[in-house]
Amino acid sequence: MKKKIITTCIIVLMLVATGISVNANRNELKTDDIVYEKMTGDIINITVQEAYAMLTNTGDGIQVPIDVRRRDEWRPQRIDTPIPEHPRWYLLDLIQNESILPKFLNQYAECDIIIYCKAGGRSYKAAKIIANTSFAGAIYNMVGGITEWNNQALPTAPGGIYNITVNDVYNLCTNLIDGLQNPIDVRYDYEWYAGFIDTPWPECPIWYCLDLFKDEENNSRFCEEFIGQEVILYCKGGYRSLVASYLIYENFTGTQYNMLGGITAWNSSGLPIRINTAPDAPIINGPAGGKPDVDYDFEFTTDDAEADVIDLFVDWGDGTNTGWIGPFASGALVILNHTHAKGEYKITAQAVDFYGNLSDIAELDIKRPRTKALNFNIIEWLFERFSALKQLLGF
């Protein structure tokens, strides 16, 4: 036993002498050139100086800083790094919420993220939660948090509404390696239908008129729908979008942007505009005839001229419907099954694209007649016809 203890002590002394340290809490592999290697599910601890170097240089890829502090901590001060490597606000409480965590994973699915808080404890907790999912990006924990960032005299800024240019918006909304941003068009319907900014799905604009933000119930609904996410508000010239930003400012938990100059500046910069058209009416294929109370498949296809994703609504004609289901790709084959009782029915289907344009309604008439069955017994008929045969057989 004594010999075993002496051997262990010698091994420890040898490790110390060669400059190799063992730290169970720090799981990164570090060389003299500060090169990190990571397996999925690992957390890489980095210093604030290393974080700053990464976040001010897109030559090493794009890393997205995630601030997991409370509202009262985020609002007065956040770290200050340039777009697209600027901090996003995503509360630890949201990441810990099992129903909201999938939204985070979808929001930053293609990203490498740097998580920070006040001192490093909450950020490490958030990193552990994310590392235990299927998240594929690199997960960095900024040791020392914004406290150490301040100690190193690195730049900070208030955590309010980001005012960004139309070119910043276009760059953010045409790739996913900086996260998923949601452009919100707050103009009136006649302006929206005359044309809106053209960015690809899923970072394509959503119409939500300014008047809706003024209604308390709709305001709350918006904040709940986009909880924790990044929203870019825009209008014609920039005024209404700023008003909308302040209307949700106290209730919204997420990252807010205001697009300076609105769609007017977007046009002046030569950026793309879209005038959207409605999808075609769905094509319905299925058995017009058949037996009642039997499950049959029906096929639905809808084409959209701009190849937008669509949702589908099917009314089976018997008092039941599918509700809006989707999204489906333009031209995709959607197979649904349904059982009808005896009778005649009119199945109707309608599609709506991502931008809210409704198709015409398609129809399919079907019949489900009662199965014909013999209403008499042939043997009884023979007996009645030939009564002598009945007596002969003893019936």
Structural domains in the chain (count): 3
pLDDT tens digits for range 5-37: 444 443 333 333 333 332 333 233 232 233 333
CATH number reported for the structural domain that contains residue 68 in this entry: 3.40.250.10
pLDDT tens digits for range 91-107: 999 999 999 999 999 99
At 393 the pLDDT is: 56
Residues 287 and 325 in one domain: yes
Owning domain of residue 332: 283-368
CATH number reported for the structural domain that contains residue 335 in this entry: 2.60.40.10
Tell me the average pLDDT across 338-360.
Answer: 94
Is residue 381, in this structure, part of any structural domain at all?
no
Mean residue pLDDT of the chain comes to 87
Structure tokens at 243: 């008003």
Residues 190 and 142 in one domain: no
- DSSP secondary structure, 269-318, as one string: TT--EE---PPPPPEEE--SS--TT-EEEEEEE---TT---EEEEEE-SS
Residues 43 and 146 in one domain: yes
User: Does the pLDDT at position 354 exceed 90?
Assistant: no
Cβ proximity of 198 and 272 under 8 Å: yes
At 376 the pLDDT is: 47
pLDDT tens digits for range 79-92: 999 999 999 999 99
* CA–CA dist 62, 359 (Å, integer): 40
Residues 144 and 168 in one domain: no
User: Does the pLDDT at position 70 exceed 70?
Assistant: yes
Residue 385 exposed, middle or buried by CB count within 10 Å (0-12, 13-18, 19+): exposed
Is residue 89, in this structure, part of any structural domain at all?
yes
Tell me the average pLDDT across 188-208.
Answer: 93
Residue whose tokens read 């730290």:
23
Q: In what order do the strands lie in the sheet with 283-285?
A: 283-285, 295-301, 334-339
Residues 248 and 269 in one domain: yes
pLDDT tens digits for range 175-196: 999 999 999 999 999 999 899 9
Is residue 214, in this structure, part of any structural domain at all?
yes
Instruction: Please report which helix (H) or strand (E) contains residue 368, including its range.
Output: strand 362-368
Give the number of other CB atoms < 10 A from CB of residue 99: 7
Is residue 106, in this structure, part of any structural domain at all?
yes
From 104, 137, 157, the end of a domain falls on 157
In angstroms and rounded to an integer, the radius of gyration of the C-alpha atoms of the chain is: 32
Is residue 8, in this structure, part of any structural domain at all?
no
User: Does the pLDDT at position 116 exceed 70?
Assistant: yes
Is residue 25, in this structure, part of any structural domain at all?
no
At 18 the pLDDT is: 35
From 232, 249, 274, the end of a domain falls on 274
> Which percentage of the chain shows pLDDT scores above 90?
78
Is residue 393, in this structure, part of any structural domain at all?
no
* CA–CA dist 189, 294 (Å, integer): 45
